[in-house]
Amino acid sequence: MNVVVLIQGREAVPVRAIPFLTDWRELQPETIARLLSDDEEVYRPHKLLALRIDALGNLVEVPPRWWGEKRREIKAISEEIKAVQPGHESGRQRWRRDATRALPLGAFVWKADLEDFVARIVQMEKRGASRRCLLG
């Protein structure tokens, strides 16, 4: 799957595509929102920055506090599905669809930054660091 786009001559990955690129393992929608937020409880191997293009064509950061709200929205989706969904698999598929749609359509990260970020996660896992401290 090729989801890389060029923005001002640099390769970028839409935030909504990240769960698909990581095969729904390390970087699911709620995890992405948590890592991009200003949540001080989450250890990060380095900062990952999400950007968007404003109405004038300028690159602007999606504020970290905004991602905290997206995280709450995704948690609410989970709660709603658990309350009404009879089966695990149907609930899981609905959650994947709805949680991904909760991520902003125009937000992206630089491909090189995402690759570096994921490589650091893998290195931490190889050294035996707790995934829980990084990814929840």
For residue 60, give the nearest of 49, 69, 71 by alpha carbon.
Answer: 49
Torsion sign (Cα): 112, 55, 32, 86 = negative
Total number of domains in the chain = 1
Residue 3 has pLDDT above 80, yes or no: yes
Please give the average per-residue pLDDT across 108-112, as a whole number. Answer: 95
Residue 106 has pLDDT above 70, yes or no: yes
- pLDDT confidence tier of residue 57, bands split at 50, 70 and 90: very high
Q: Report d(CA 116, CA 1) in Å as an integer.
A: 19
- pLDDT confidence tier of residue 132, bands split at 50, 70 and 90: very low
The whole domain housing 45 covers: 5-135
* pLDDT score recorded for residue 12: 97
- The predicted model scores a pTM of 0.80
If you compute the radius of gyration of the chain from its CA atoms, what whole number of angstroms results?
15
The residue that leads in pLDDT, 43 or 2, is: 2
* pLDDT score recorded for residue 134: 43
* pLDDT score recorded for residue 103: 93
For residue 87, give the nearest of 98, 75, 95 by alpha carbon.
Answer: 95
* pLDDT score recorded for residue 1: 61
The residue that leads in pLDDT, 4 or 46, is: 4
